[in-house]
Amino acid sequence: MKGRTVIAFAIVAAVLALVPQFLNGYARSLLYITVLYVALAYAWNVISGYAGYLSFGQVTFFGLGAYTTAISVTRGNLPWWEGALLGGVISAALAVPLGYLMLRLRGAFFALGMLGLAQTLQVVANSWQLTGGGSGLFLPPGSNALPAYYWTLAIGLLTFAATLFIDRSAFGLRLQALREDEQVASTLGVQVTTTKVWAFVISAIVPGLLGGGYAWYLTYVEPVSAFATRFDLQAVAMTILGGIGTVWGPLIGGVLMSQVSEMLAAQYPQAYLMIFGGLVVVLLVFLPRGIAPAVSAALARHRARAAQGHR
Amino acid sequence: MRRTRLQVIAAGVAATAFFFVLGGPRLAASAAEKPIVIGASISETGAYADSGKLALQGYQLWVKQRNAAGGLLGRQIELKTYDDASDPATAVRLYQRLIDQDHVDLIVGPYSSAVTASVANVAQQHHMPMISPEVASTAPFERGLTEIFQGIQIASDYVEGPIAIAKEKGFKTIAVTGEDTLFPRSVVAGVDDLAKKMGMTVVFNQLYPHNASDYSSIVEKMKQSNPDIVIAASYLPDSVGLLRAMKQANFAPKLVYEGVGPTELSFGTQNGKDADGVMGTGNWSAELKTQGNASFVKAFTSTFGHPPDYHAAANYASLEVLGEAVKRVGSLDSAKLRDQLATLTMPTVMGTYKVDPKTGIQQGYKSLVLQWVNGKQFVIYPKALAQQPPSLPFVSWSTR
Amino acid sequence: MHAALIGQLTIDGLLVGGVYALSALGLNVIFGVMRIVNLAHGEFVIGAALLSAVLFERWHANLFVVLPLAFVLAFGLGALIQRAFLRRLPEDLASAEATSLLMTFGLSYFFVGAWLTFFSGNFRSVPYLTGAWTLGPFSIAQARLAAFVASGIIAVLLALLLRYTALGRSIRATSQNVQGALACGVDVERVRTLSFALGTAIAAASGCLLILIFTVNPETGANVTLASFAVIALGGLGNYAGTLVGAAVIGLAVSFTGYFATAQVAQAAPYVLFILVLLLRPAGILGKSGA
């Protein structure tokens, strides 16, 4: 079973790595954005799906990564991917103390606290000399989307692998235990704080790394777009559509929604917000667990019927 | 169980890959009777929606007039635009879509400095020359890009007028503020040096963030610094908010300058009598005696039911320049067009188009200082173009 | 420091605080009864603000005519949202809280998009009562004072409603103990609908007053939501008197940091206070928000 998973994983990775060779710039860009959103959705899924701490401010780390990269490139003359790596390291380093503090909050307060954190960082970026204030930072022009795509793809695949691991490991079980009831989990011997801080760090390091690729892709970083809460909206909507707290949810939801949103965004950007927002609400009413569990259930039924037929 | 799942996923990936490949390169149509397509994204929603709409209409009017006059190179012209909602990432993707997917023949710039800064990189990659009529900041042009050309006055020139006027009246102290984003920052960047040169002092200098909604504290602060003149690098919403906060704080310095906000006509409708005396930088005025200006104003007003503003004029002028460049080159060859745009000097409704061939920074267009007097805008600077002398000092709020 | 200046900043801060207080009261009514943290709250505030700005532009509609209109419309909208969506939240409380958060998060973006469609992305304000009265060394903005007074009147009306009417008693009973309220024959479902509608309507009312002071566009709703939550975090969830104190603190913090630090710091002040308060006394708040 393990071997098959690895082979399938390698095939998918190879296909995704080769596809851009056959694409024009726009399609590459679209592919990049799709992979980016799927990866962000996977990251969000760890802290909010598996651990049950809804965060509307993971974009904090995305912006942090973008700025770290822009600063490393413009002020430190580092290659961009080193800056992006640094962005991941800083995000992780920051996520540990932040996790200890913020994860003391529950439910709405954690969600809002994270939202407030993103806003605060945006203000910091807006007023600091190092970040170029409201003017932002320019990266060297003339780059193309491919390096950013491969970077994002690699991180996306790693995040997917991490999710696969979480879903099947004792760590994942501990996360789900504390999602259901922290006190019970604690009495069962789960190190509640350590476990959830780990989840938070995973959910922070990924956007931290992805932000660097985004900075390179855009060649320009400024506070408003680097800390846009829309990134979180997208991650939330995609994960819910696909199935929150599942392995395949973010992938299914992410791919489906990127296509829909691209079709809409070009002509009706405001309708696109309405549709994303409205979809979240409607899904929660009619398909609260998302597509992935529904598909699994259908497959299971199908197999059961097939098995009966054999008998 | 797992194998089936993986099969489903593999099928999904294959389908997605297929989608992308299908959506990929298509054969470019080259038939001569096909229209020439000019592509752009404009912010019709988002923070800059107001001005974005007028900018778009500037493009539309030129295309309409040109088509009526037989088009370009014997072909009709079609304008293809998307709405980037003032978001740079969206704008980047839209320009790639315009170039790679829609196969537009020419592109022109989007609205706002931040959006253009990102889009310029796309133009560079595709070797598509692009005139940007909405980027007054020079920063995007100083990155070694070879394909973008500034279609509007440079921002650092804006404050020259109000400071010269203040100097003439013997005003001494300046309070500086503005929105903390790329364009307003470059407007006020040169104030310190300029003030020193003119023997004036900057007594206050602090910007406020994008999306600010309450200006009372910053106005109170300016009031405490007791300046003769206020220089604010503002867009429309913040210029209205600032002015209102000044009235509420009963703060009336001798000269009030509010960036590009006051050039918009709705500055007058939103402020009523309070607008009187406020100065702003216009890059253009309906009264200018530039080539074709009077007929542009007339045609614009009759087409859209409202008069043009400088955004409309700048975008219209950019297409005038692009059209002329195409005519001179005689084809849509982008390398030749690029060289043509870099060296061309020609009269437009904005003034004389001329850029620095190296950076593409505008050198020809000159900015104007406008002032609201009795509910109307008048050009007051430079003197050669002034419709009337500046009306100063700014009238105190209690005696209006 | 100049006493007159301190006084001026205090006046400005407190007057704005009045509007924050009203908006936060709306949130508090909803939370008290439904245990739902409504992330779309700011969108209702902004929606009403933009509506009154448009009505003023078109017909010079008097704000105090528009306010009741917005109140009624928002009441209906709130009832509709509760009936159509929020009522269908799952039964168990833990997942109900998560689902309601996600749902109101979705609603907030739905309405940002809706307002963008209806009102465009333009920043709007209402040039109504733009003057100021001079009182000794102070200048009192007419619009701010009007907004403050109107907020106060609505808050008092709300207090009277909660204290002396049957609905008010049901609301308070449901806030304290759902089982108890059920046992006493309170139609909890109806009370929830009315509370959500009432909270939404109060948000709309505060929006009509906010536009007297602020310049807003459809994308500024999140700021309002966060500021209102900061007020509640300071004052305590479900604590109406605390809300007033919290609002005053936020108003003053914005006004003073705007003067003594920068406008950027002032913009972040509500969030920073919000996070600090949450972190310094999470137990107190947790005690009320949990379960």
pLDDT, one tens digit per residue, over C6-33 is: 888 899 899 989 888 999 999 888 888 8
Query: Looking at the domain assignment, is residue C193 inside a domain?
Result: yes
| Between B229 and C125, the higher pLDDT residue | B229
| Confidence (pLDDT) at C282 | 57
3-class SS at C108?
A: helix
- A58, A109, A224, A233, best to mutate vs chain C, most C CBs in 10 Å: A109
C-alpha–C-alpha distance, residues B99 and B83, integer Å: 15
| Confidence (pLDDT) at B392 | 86
CA distance, residue B18 to nearest chain C CA (Å): 31
Are B267 and B378 part of one and the same domain?
Answer: yes
| Confidence (pLDDT) at B31 | 47
Domain count for chain C: 1
Are B163 and B266 part of one and the same domain?
Answer: yes
A:B CB pairs within 8 Å: 169
- C123, C126, C225, C255, best to mutate vs chain B, most B CBs in 10 Å: C123
Query: Looking at the domain assignment, is residue B27 inside a domain?
Result: no
Place C212 in a pLDDT band, splitting at 50, 70 and 90.
confident
CB contact under 8 A, C286 and A106: yes
Classify residue B266 as exposed, middle or buried by CB count within 10 Å of its CB (0-12, 13-18, 19+).
middle
Query: Looking at the domain assignment, is residue B133 inside a domain?
Result: yes
- State chain B's mean pLDDT as an integer: 85
Are B334 and B372 part of one and the same domain?
Answer: no
Q: How far is CA B51 from the centre of its chain?
A: 8
Are B249 and B104 part of one and the same domain?
Answer: no
User: Using CB atoms and an 8 Å cut-off, which of residues 132-171 of chain A contact chain B?
Assistant: 133-136, 138, 140-144
| Confidence (pLDDT) at A156 | 94
Q: In this complex, is the C-beta atom of C207 within 8 Å of any C-beta atom belonging to chain B?
A: no
Q: Which of C9, C220, C267 sits opposite B220 (nearest CB)?
A: C9
Q: How far is CA B283 from the centre of its chain?
A: 9
Q: Which of B180, B248, B270 sits opposite C125 (nearest CB)?
A: B270
Are B251 and B376 part of one and the same domain?
Answer: yes
User: What confidence tens digit (pLDDT) does each residue in A163-178 have?
Assistant: 999 988 888 888 888 8
User: What confidence tens digit (pLDDT) does each residue in C130-177 have?
Assistant: 888 888 888 888 888 988 999 999 989 998 998 899 888 888 888 888
User: What confidence tens digit (pLDDT) does each residue in A73-82 have?
Assistant: 988 888 988 9
Query: Looking at the domain assignment, is residue B201 inside a domain?
Result: yes
State the amino acid at position A208 in one-letter form: G
Query: Which chain A residues have a beta carbon less than 8 Å from that of B124?
Result: 141-142
Are B256 and B297 part of one and the same domain?
Answer: no
User: What confidence tens digit (pLDDT) does each residue in B106-152 have?
Assistant: 999 988 777 888 888 889 888 999 999 888 888 888 888 888 999 98
State which residues form the domain around C209: 22-218
CB contact under 8 A, B221 and C12: no
Are B224 and B373 part of one and the same domain?
Answer: yes
CB contact under 8 A, B100 and A25: yes
How is the beta sheet containing B229-233 ordered, strand by strand?
Answer: B201-205, B173-178, B229-233, B255-257, B279-282, B368-373, B376-381
| Confidence (pLDDT) at C289 | 40
Cβ-based neighbour number of residue B138 at 10 Å: 19
CA distance, residue A265 to nearest chain B CA (Å): 8
Are B133 and B166 part of one and the same domain?
Answer: no
State which residues form the domain around B70: 36-153+288-354
Domain count for chain B: 2
User: What confidence tens digit (pLDDT) does each residue in C66-112 have?
Assistant: 999 999 999 999 999 999 888 887 766 667 778 888 899 899 989 99
C-alpha–C-alpha distance, residues B311 and B58, integer Å: 7
| Between C118 and C236, the higher pLDDT residue | C118
- B45, B100, B104, best to mutate vs chain A, most A CBs in 10 Å: B100
pTM: 0.86
Query: Which chain B residues have a beta carbon less than 8 Å from that of A228?
Result: 87
Place C241 in a pLDDT band, splitting at 50, 70 and 90.
confident
Q: Which of A112, A181, A233 sits opposite C229 (nearest CB)?
A: A112
Query: Looking at the domain assignment, is residue B376 inside a domain?
Result: yes
Query: Looking at the domain assignment, is residue B123 inside a domain?
Result: yes
CA distance, residue C281 to nearest chain B CA (Å): 29
Query: Which chain C residues have a beta carbon less than 8 Å from that of B250?
Result: 132, 134, 139
C-alpha–C-alpha distance, residues C260 and C279, integer Å: 25
Cβ-based neighbour number of residue A254 at 10 Å: 27
Query: Looking at the domain assignment, is residue B25 inside a domain?
Result: no
CATH number (domain holding residue B135): 3.40.50.2300
| Confidence (pLDDT) at A70 | 93
Residues 6+ apart with CB under 8 A from A71: A83, A130, A131, A137
Average pLDDT for C222-243? 82
Q: Which of C120, C213, C255 sits opposite B49 (nearest CB)?
A: C120
Q: Kindly give the parts of chain A with pLDDT less than 70.
A: 1-2, 142-143, 265-270, 309-311
| Confidence (pLDDT) at B7 | 56
User: Using CB atoms and an 8 Å cut-off, which of residues 146-175 of chain C contact chain A?
Assistant: none
- A280, A283, A286, best to mutate vs chain C, most C CBs in 10 Å: A280
Q: Which of C98, C222, C282 sits opposite A104 (nearest CB)?
A: C282
Query: Looking at the domain assignment, is residue B237 inside a domain?
Result: yes
| Confidence (pLDDT) at C181 | 83
Q: Which of A29, A220, A269 sits opposite B96 (nearest CB)?
A: A29
Are B350 and B205 part of one and the same domain?
Answer: no
| Confidence (pLDDT) at C284 | 40
| Confidence (pLDDT) at A142 | 63
CB contact under 8 A, B248 and C143: yes
C-alpha–C-alpha distance, residues B196 and B205, integer Å: 14
Structure tokens at B175: 């309070």
Residue (of C144, C136, C132, C193) closest to C167 by Cα position: C193
CB contact under 8 A, C278 and A113: yes
Cis amide bond preceding C270, omega within 30:
no
Are B182 and B272 part of one and the same domain?
Answer: yes
| Confidence (pLDDT) at A84 | 93
C-alpha–C-alpha distance, residues C114 and C108, integer Å: 10
Are B308 and B170 part of one and the same domain?
Answer: no
User: Using CB atoms and an 8 Å cut-off, which of residues 103-122 of chain A contact chain B?
Assistant: none
C-alpha–C-alpha distance, residues C246 and C267, integer Å: 17
Query: Looking at the domain assignment, is residue B10 inside a domain?
Result: no
| Confidence (pLDDT) at B59 | 93
Q: Which of B4, B100, B186 sits opposite A26 (nearest CB)?
A: B100
Place C291 in a pLDDT band, splitting at 50, 70 and 90.
very low
Are B250 and B177 part of one and the same domain?
Answer: yes
The contacts found for C53-60 with CB under 8 angstroms, 24 or more apart, are: C53/C124, C53/C125, C53/C126, C53/C211, C54/C119, C54/C124, C56/C126, C56/C127, C56/C128, C57/B269, C57/C124
Place B338 in a pLDDT band, splitting at 50, 70 and 90.
very high
Query: Which chain A residues have a beta carbon less than 8 Å from that of C236?
Result: none
